Homo-oligomer: A and B are copies of this chain.
């Protein structure tokens, strides 16, 4: 008898969580409990054919829960994950609240599943979606070749900024469509303003027909929180505290699925054939790398998919032991809901 709770069940990631549970052939849960803010309490959602009433977040809501998955803002997780633990649950948290806490493991099951079983605080953290988009690929390559350096540039989807981000992008696309803009400085912003959209946007600049080299919040040295997460979380997940990382995080006008251009240097010799072998052997990776037939991953081919798609694998011409490649991963699935759920499955298997 095992009870799973979804905290934030009515949010964007929460609903993908329910889709994932619905699609599983079988689940190890005797009860699934849906928890959300009091505002959403009382709503009824269908999970695996059964209507379940959403209950309001409270200490008692966690009574009898074995594993509680949190998809809520950092501050809510910071307050409520320890409450869930105090009521006897293991918390699997997809916020940034505990990721870098040395007493909280940061887990990608195909990379470091064993770490989920040592959790001094009763909490397991799920990595940031950008880090997760490339981690299956990097974990597999690291096991084979020994990762040493990482230079990455991201192409991040609007849904990384939640439903608000999706709505904003769709509204901006409608505002610029058919207007023939993009030829003159300012014409895209004018078309967006003319459609009545507020100047304030979750992206800090127009995203339609544009790219925005800023995601997250500003930290020391001009780095963004998003760029530092890619560095610090990659180091922690891979167990490489001295891994050299530089990341530039850029938002692009894509609804869902983050893409990353990766330049990775290893301790050992690597070539394209060896990398292809490693990727092909990893069940959570789909290798799409036949550029002669114009086959390479693009985000719209990966949305809704569980695996990480990898392509454009090249041996660096001028850097020893180095590969350049391109990855696409659905930021709402492997980047959030799926990995969180896979951690819960790992915990219940133990």
C-alpha spacing A337/B300, complex, angstroms? 34
Instruction: Check if A211 sits within 8 Å of B314, measured CB to CB.
Output: no
Once A180-B170, A182-B303, A296-B213 are accepted as A-B contacts, the answer to whether A248 and B222 lie under 8 Å apart by CB is no
Cβ < 8 Å to B, chain A residues 233-262: 243-246, 248, 250, 252-256, 259, 261
Instruction: Check if A221 sits within 8 Å of B185, measured CB to CB.
Output: no
B residues less than 8 Å from A214 (CB atoms): 291, 294, 296, 312
A277 within 8 A of partner (CB):
no
A164 within 8 A of partner (CB):
no
B residues less than 8 Å from A212 (CB atoms): 296, 298
Cβ < 8 Å to B, chain A residues 303-333: 303-305, 311-319, 322, 324, 326
A301 within 8 A of partner (CB):
yes
Once A246-B317, A292-B218, A298-B211 are accepted as A-B contacts, the answer to whether A185 and B303 lie under 8 Å apart by CB is yes
Cβ < 8 Å to B, chain A residues 123-169: 149, 151, 153, 155, 166
C-alpha spacing A118/B158, complex, angstroms? 50
Would you give the shortest CB distance from A22 to chain B, in whole angstroms?
16
C-alpha spacing A255/B218, complex, angstroms? 28
B residues less than 8 Å from A210 (CB atoms): 254, 298-300
Instruction: Check if B256 sits within 8 Å of A182, measured CB to CB.
Output: yes
B residues less than 8 Å from A301 (CB atoms): 185-186
Interface size on A, residues (CB 8 A): 78
Cβ < 8 Å to B, chain A residues 260-302: 261, 263, 272, 289, 291-292, 294, 296-302
Instruction: Check if A248 sits within 8 Å of B324, measured CB to CB.
Output: yes
A105 within 8 A of partner (CB):
no
A112 within 8 A of partner (CB):
no
A188 within 8 A of partner (CB):
yes
Stretch at the interface among A85-93, A171-179, A340-348: A171-179
Instruction: Check if B324 sits within 8 Å of A246, measured CB to CB.
Output: yes
A189 within 8 A of partner (CB):
yes
Interface bits A34-66 vs B (CB < 8 Å: 1, else 0): 000000000000000000000000000000000
Listed by A's residue number, 26 A-B pairs whose Cβ atoms lie within 8 Å are A151-B151, A173-B208, A174-B177, A182-B300, A183-B303, A185-B304, A189-B300, A210-B298, A211-B252, A213-B297, A213-B311, A218-B291, A221-B272, A222-B272, A222-B312, A222-B313, A224-B291, A231-B317, A231-B318, A245-B318, A246-B263, A246-B322, A246-B324, A248-B312, A248-B326, A263-B263
Q: Nearest 8 pairs between A and B by C-beta?
A: A182-B255, A177-B177, A153-B153, A244-B318, A153-B261, A248-B261, A213-B326, A222-B314
